Structure 1
Amino acid sequence: MILAHISQELDLPMQVAAAIAHLRETDYNNFEIGRHEINERMFALVQDPTTQDWQQGFPEFHRKHIDVQYLLEGEELIGYLPAAPHYEIRQDFLEQRDIAFTSTQVNETQLFLTPGMYAVFFPGELHRPCRCASIPQKIKKVVIKIRVDLNI
């Protein structure tokens, strides 16, 4: 997991660095909600959800994609737990959509994002996005999905 501001210069894995460079060069504020292709390895999901109470929802993880979650508007908490050999899977959509939800909800680290911040989640890392920091609010964010291979 990586948590940073878009203006920070970090030594990042090649594919993650490419996604951050893309975010710096692309103004997603006026993009339509939905999926936008970037290249053969990456696509962006522009989203405008309403944040939910911390107690709602379940952590998710992916096996084939890295998530770069970049906040454009609002405030968001994201729960985080490192990858572990086994989590109890509540809903498994890994084959269809590369996402599974777990029953785990204890001792998650709370990441607080404000506009311009991003969090990177690697395959197997649990994350529970779109939690409210104070009261539920509409946020706007971009999630860049990076297909994993040996060159990251």
Structure 2
Amino acid sequence: MIFDKIKNANKYRTKYPELNKALEILENYNFDSLKLGITNINESIKIVKRNYIEKFQNIDFGEIHKDHVDIHIYAGQSNELFHFEEDPIWKKEDILEESIQNDVIFVKTKKPNNYIVLDEGKFALFFPGELHCPLIMDKNLKEITKVIIKVKIS
């Protein structure tokens, strides 16, 4: 997991060329100009801008990806509270929902201990296998706009 200011994204070069390209996009792209939906950059990188509602109410849960990195970007409506586990422990019976096509498994978790707050000018990057869960901090809002760069790495 990486949590930092967007202006520092260039410090995080990796062995994955597609992730390095996504970090360049993070620094230079005008995400405000995106319409809702999916913008395909290439076969491995897409930007998702969507309306987000917390998926499972009153359950501690998180999402895990097998092959994709998620880069979450503050989209301007509300700070987001992320809980995360870098080495999550879960069993098959903990699965709430799974989509192989979208490379995501939602699992029940124990009460989380690790939190970050995603606010203006920051990003949160989660590698494959790292459990994460975005929560809307402003409880007056039921829905916010989210921007996520999804990067398939191998």
TM-score under structure 2 length normalisation: 0.82
Q: Which of 62, 76, 79 lines up with 1:75 in the alignment?
A: 79
The offset of 1:19, in angstroms, is: 1.1
In structure 2, the residue matched to 1:148 is 153
Q: Deviations over 1:15-57 (max 9, x none)?
A: 3332121122211112111111011211110123256899456
Question: Percentage identity across aligned positions?
Answer: 24
Structure 2, unpaired ranges of 5+? none
Superposed CA RMSD: 2.4
Over 3 Å counting, the alpha-carbon distance change for 1:12 and 1:103 in structure 2 is same
Structure 1, unpaired ranges of 5+? none
Which one-letter code corresponds to 1:10 in the other structure? K
Over 3 Å counting, the alpha-carbon distance change for 1:101 and 1:79 in structure 2 is same
Question: What does 1:95-106 align with in structure 2 at a 5 Å threshold?
Answer: 95-106=100-111
In structure 2, the residue matched to 1:123 is 128
Q: How far apart are the structure 2 equivalents of 1:105 and 1:60?
A: 13
In structure 2, the residue matched to 1:32 is 35
The offset of 1:120, in angstroms, is: 0.6
Is residue 2:8 matched to residue 1:4? no
The offset of 1:113, in angstroms, is: 0.8
Over 3 Å counting, the alpha-carbon distance change for 1:32 and 1:64 in structure 2 is same
Q: How far apart are the structure 2 equivalents of 1:11 and 1:65?
A: 17
Q: Which of 29, 48, 51 lines up with 1:45 in the alignment?
A: 48
Are the equivalent residues in 2 in contact too, given 1:65–1:147 (CA < 8 A)? yes
Q: How many residues align?
A: 147
Over 3 Å counting, the alpha-carbon distance change for 1:65 and 1:97 in structure 2 is same
TM-score under structure 1 length normalisation: 0.83
Q: Deviations over 1:52-94 (max 9, x none)?
A: 899456201000101111112121111101124x413323424
Q: Deviations over 1:94-151 (max 9, x none)?
A: 423211011114233111011221111111110011x1324243533311111111xx
In structure 1, the residue matched to 2:25 is 22
